[in-house]
Amino acid sequence: MNSETNNPTLPVPPAQLAGHLLVKCLVEQGVTHAFGVPGESFLAVLDGFYAHRENITFVINRQEGGAANMAEAAGKLTGRPGVCFVTRGPGATNASIGVHTAFQDSTPMVLFVGDVGGDFRDREAFQELDFNSFFGPSTKGMAKRVERIDRAERIPEYVARAFALAMNGRPGPVVVVLPEDMLRERVHAEPLPRVEAVQAWCDPGALRQLRAMLLQAQRPLVIAGGGGWSVQAAQALERFAQNWQLPVACAFRFQDTFDNAHPLYAGEVGIGLNPKLAKRIEQSDLIVAIGPRLGEMTTNGYTLLKAPKPHQKLVHIHSSADELGRVYQADLSMLSTMNAAARSLEVLDAPNEVAWIEWSRQSHQDYLDNLVPQVLPGPVDLAAVMAVLSKTLPANAVLTNGAGNFSSWLHRFHVYHGLAKGFKTQLAPTSGAMGYGVPAAIAANILTQRVSFTIAGDGDFLMNAQELATATQCGAKTIILLLNNGMYGTIRMHQERHYPKRVSGTALNNPDFCALARAYGYAAHRMHETREFEGLLRDALARDSGTLIEVMLDPEVITTRGSLSAITEHALGQQAP
């Protein structure tokens, strides 16, 4: 019997537009929503979304930055790549803010960019851009990889590889460039199967070494965070901490990695750090960092852990070999994904008694003490507002924010229950990108239908306020608490510290935010006193449409710990002869 009889020819798939094949590949990867702004460079893909509209939705955004932020939020929520489509040149550059956030936050994401046709390439055609140079994959770049699909029959290969790259190792963004003439070709091909993330397991010898280091410690502390955490991993982390009675702090803007109400929770290691927690980190004799990059914000400018060699013993567990040893020389480095690491740690044999029970108890007490607010001027007490949030919002509510001092009230005073309770509940950019909170909450509500709440500053809100039109068109509902103090507050704070009483470039002449929100289809209310908030919040929760609550905030309320005048007076005192 000849080989042809043994291996009959497989049937040839029917011909289809390459753009349609691309959409089918996304459906095969489990994508239900793609975010973007339409462009003529990928019309064939838009037609593919129409053809497969029962399986996948193209969410029409108003600006590519908002679209990319929504895709990044989708990656955080699902653990699989969020998908964004933009056109060449201006579309890609506008979307770069979301790509940069995905890179710094270790979030899986795929950005598809419609490009000039191959027949026009390298002539500086209309809106042409060198995407490899712009998104430049490197440890200082914006994307893990940039690829261009020139042959339509290879679309399934490239899409599968992009999803694998985005999820494996340190999660992050991948950029895929789509020449428009390629997308119009007819091709005989079918999608490849769904890609799953590869699990890298802890070395057994390293686990034994970690156990020995724990047994020798007197003041250990876990810092958990970074990308790649699942519900199962967070629950395993909680069991590990419980078995060993270890205090757990969360890295900057990864507070939902560990239940804040747990008696072993020690607080967030980020901007506006609790001074007692900072001191505790400095006094620790063993830091077990599970997942975070240990970047500038989490280490308070690389001071809590001195670079390159901390005085504390350091165990660093991370999913990327490139990250281990890049900034810190750890006493023990372990290459592992978070799911595998946490599941290995939860079965690490713990002794009957440990030496640090009081250390752990006091670590949590420091966190509880930090929930007691300082007295600040003005008729609105933001700490009390956050207490109402924690009491009133459902446990699975998604809370989002962009960048600015306003976010420190949410980070300090809200109690995140988070992943261990079954839900991702915090979406916030460790990249420090303004304008993230509004689109992130809209994406969260579209994807999960859960209550989605945003806290925003006046400057931060106007970065992506146009996406309220996207929310209304999609039937999404979010609640926005807008803190209006008439300035770029964070920059003004730094300005007063370094150039006191020399205000330049930070004052804002704002629109009528309530009228603007109503124009987009949101309900809107202006709030002047703390007592108004609970009723307004409950009304917003009961309403079918989105709501904006504007808080007229005293400009003196600049941080959770002090007033603007106090910062100015201190700076002037430092300058006095």
Tokens of 348: 């690490």
- E-strand ranges in 241-312 read 248-251, 265-269, 286-290
Q: What is the pLDDT of residues 279-311, one digit of tens each?
A: 999 999 999 999 999 999 999 999 999 999 999
Q: What's the rounded mean pLDDT across residues 566-571?
A: 92
Angstrom distances, CA of residue 178 to CA of 38, 116, 534: 14, 8, 49
Task: Give backbone dihedrals phi and psi of 563, rounded to 5 degrees, phi first.
Answer: -95, 165
Q: How confident is the model at residue 2 (pLDDT cuts 50, 70, 90)?
A: very low
Pairwise CA distance, residues 381 & 409, whole Å: 10
Cβ contact 403:436 at 8 Å: yes
Q: pLDDT exceeding 70 applies to what percent of the chain?
A: 97
Picking from 137, 130, 68, the residue whose alpha carbon sits closest to that of residue 99 is 68
Helices H / strands E in the chain, number of each: 22, 20
Q: What pLDDT sits at residue 1? A: 42
Q: What's the rounded mean pLDDT across residues 430-451?
A: 97
Pairwise CA distance, residues 103 & 105, whole Å: 6
Question: Quick check: 382 pLDDT over 50?
Answer: yes
Same fold, 204-370 and 382-575: yes
- Fold held by 204-370: Rossmann fold (3.40.50)
Please report which helix (H) or strand (E) contains residue 58, including its range: strand 57-60
**Sequence-distant (≥ 6) Cβ neighbours of residue 221 within 8 angstroms:** 246, 247, 248, 249, 266, 280, 281, 284, 286, 287, 288, 363
**pLDDT top residue among 577 and 153:** 153
Scanning 136-197, the segments in alpha helix (DSSP H) are: 155-167, 180-183
Q: What pLDDT sits at residue 394? A: 95
| Exposure of 208 in the CB half-sphere (CA atoms within 13 A) | 3
Q: What's the rounded mean pLDDT across residues 137-161?
A: 90
Helix (H, G, I), strand (E, B), or coil: what is residue 366?
Answer: helix
Q: What is the pLDDT of residues 306-359, one digit of tens each?
A: 999 999 999 999 999 999 999 999 999 999 999 999 999 999 999 999 999 999
Instruction: State the average pLDDT for the chain.
Output: 95
Question: Quick check: 4 pLDDT over 60?
Answer: no
* Least confident range of 130-144, 197-211, 216-230, 336-350: 130-144
Q: Which CATH architecture has domain 14-187?
A: 3-Layer(aba) Sandwich (3.40)
Q: How confident is the model at residue 139 (pLDDT cuts 50, 70, 90)?
A: low
**Single pTM value for the model:** 0.95
Compute the Cα dihedral for 203, 204, 208, 211 and give only its sign.
Answer: positive
Q: What pLDDT sits at residue 235? A: 97
Q: How confident is the model at residue 494 (pLDDT cuts 50, 70, 90)?
A: very high
CB crowding 257-280: b at 16 or more within 10 Å, else e: bbbbeebbbbbbbbbebbebbeeb
Q: What is the pLDDT of residues 14-54, one digit of tens each?
A: 889 999 999 999 999 999 999 999 999 999 999 999 999 99
Q: What is the pLDDT of residues 547-557, one digit of tens each?
A: 999 999 999 99
Q: What is the pLDDT of residues 244-277, one digit of tens each?
A: 999 999 999 999 999 999 999 999 999 889 999 9
CATH annotation of 382-575: 3.40.50.970
Angstrom distances, CA of residue 4 to CA of 1, 229, 510: 8, 49, 75
| Exposure of 427 in the CB half-sphere (CA atoms within 13 A) | 39
CB crowding 292-318: b at 16 or more within 10 Å, else e: bbbeebbbbebebbeeeebebbbbbbb
Question: Quick check: 9 pLDDT over 70?
Answer: no
Cβ contact 113:173 at 8 Å: no
Structural domain boundaries in the chain: 14-187, 204-370, 382-575
Helices 338-345 & 231-244 angle (0-180, nearest 10): 30
Question: Quick check: 8 pLDDT over 60?
Answer: no
Tokens 């109690």 found at: 415
Pairwise CA distance, residues 43 & 49, whole Å: 10
Find the Cα–Cα–Cα–Cα dihedral 536, 537, 542, 546, rounded to 10°: 90
Tokens of 508: 């804002």
**pLDDT top residue among 132 and 414:** 414
Q: What pLDDT sits at residue 5? A: 46
Q: What's the rounded mean pLDDT across residues 405-429?
A: 94
Q: How confident is the model at residue 3 (pLDDT cuts 50, 70, 90)?
A: very low
Q: What pLDDT sits at residue 68? A: 98
Picking from 422, 404, 62, 409, the residue whose alpha carbon sits closest to that of residue 238 is 422
Q: What pLDDT sits at residue 138? A: 60
